[in-house]
Amino acid sequence: MIDEKIALITGCSSGLGYALAKEALDRGFHVIATARDPQDITLNHPRLHPRALDLGCEPRITEFAATIKEEFPHCDLLINNAGYGLMAPLLDLNASALQEQFQTNCIAPVTLLRATMSMLNPGATVVNIGSVSARLVTPFAGSYCASKAALHALNEAMRMELAPFGVRVLLIRAGAIKSKFGQRASRELGALARPDSRYASIAGAMRRRASLSQTRAAAPDKVAHQIIDAAESTRCPRELGVAKGNRLLALFSHLPRRIKDPLLSRQFDLHALRRDLGND
């Protein structure tokens, strides 16, 4: 059994999760790093413990928790990082795609917390990786934004409900981070694409939305450093904004709808579609 600091971090095969695992190792943690295929976690370190975890399915999460409880005595830092963006117009989404988005991005973090709570002693910290997209909703990102908004709300309840047990909860409001996020979002969009979509003529705008976060993005290593610094701090904040555009986009989200809607409508070609359909 390990008598040192232990971190459990989901989604470590790429992007922010990979950088968080590396940062936690650098700070002396044992890191239980998860991905659907642990061989995709290309880090190599004696304190790294790669494990398979598919967050898409509740029984797999509870099975996973049962096995790590046998191996590891406690968990000092749980980072709910894994997630992806389902980018498509709501009219093109089927219920199962929407359910999977919610399962991975906001139901799984709660399931994982419940399943590992007995490992979280007073002083432990739970970090939920949220997004500016929880506040700034754009066309073609409704399901992703809704899943992150739900995660933000769940985080609030989690923080208050875990306080009596001495467990701290930190919400990360992330802006753009260099990762495979855009690649996966584009893949999901491609899988849903239908020739009879009412938005077929502006498919380029949907593709732009899917890869938007990757055009000007922060280095994940720098973001991971900020996150673990905050999580380890004796005065752990309740919320932390990180990465490119997090402040500016949060400000933009407060604009009145009569100003914001036309700007977003132009940016994502809905304005042109409306004109083409003669609904000006």
Ligand X SMILES: NC(=O)c1ccc[n+]([C@@H]2O[C@H](COP(=O)([O-])OP(=O)(O)OC[C@H]3O[C@@H](n4cnc5c(N)ncnc54)[C@H](OP(=O)(O)O)[C@@H]3O)[C@@H](O)[C@H]2O)c1
Active site positions, annotated: 144, 148
Of 250 and 273, nearer to ligand X (C-beta) is: 250
Does residue 50 interact with ligand X by CB under 6 A? no
Task: CB nearer to ligand X: give 18 or 199.
Answer: 18
Cα–Cα distance list, 98 to 36, 87, 195 (Å): 20, 10, 20
Contact set for ligand X, span 81-100 (CB under 6 A) = 81-84
Integer Cα distance of 213 and 108 in angstroms: 23
Residue closer to ligand X, measured from CB, 125 or 131: 131
Number of residues that bind ligand X (CB under 6 A): 30
Of 78, 66, 67, the closest CA to residue 33 belongs to: 78
State yes or no: residue 245 binds ligand X (CB under 6 A). Answer: no
Binding-site string for ligand X from residue 107 to residue 146, where x marks contact by CB under 6 A and - marks none: ----------------------x-x---------------
Q: Is 54 in the site for ligand X (CB under 6 A)?
A: yes
* Residue 157 near residue 238 (C-beta atoms within 8 A): no
**Distance linking the first and last C-alpha atoms of the chain:** 68
Verify binding: residue 16, ligand X, rule CB under 6 A: yes
Rounded least distance, CB 269 to ligand X, Å: 22
Q: Which H or E element spans position 69?
A: helix 58-71
The CA distance from 155 to 107, in Å, is 11
Site string for ligand X, 200-229 (x = CB under 6 A): -------------x---x------------
Q: Cβ atoms within 10 A of the Cβ of 107, count?
A: 20
Query: For ligand X, which stretch binds (CB under 6 A), given 8-16, 158-166, 223-231, 264-272?
Result: 8-16
Q: How far is the CB of 151 from ligand X (least distance, A)?
A: 8
d(CA 125, CA 233): 10
Query: Do the beta carbons of residue 81 and residue 11 sit within 8 Å?
Result: yes
Residue 88 near residue 192 (C-beta atoms within 8 A): yes
Distance CA 188, CA 98 (A): 11
Q: How far is the CB of 138 from ligand X (least distance, A)?
A: 13
- Residue 86 · residue 101 · CB < 8 Å: yes
* 104 is a site residue for ligand X (CB under 6 A): yes
* C-beta closer to ligand X: residue 121 or 215: 215
Who contacts 92 (Cβ-Cβ below 8 Å, separation ≥6)? 192, 193, 194, 197, 199
179 binds ligand X (CB under 6 A): yes
- Interaction site with ligand X (CB under 6 A): 11-17, 35-36, 40, 53-56, 81-84, 104, 129, 131, 174, 176-177, 179-181, 184, 213, 217
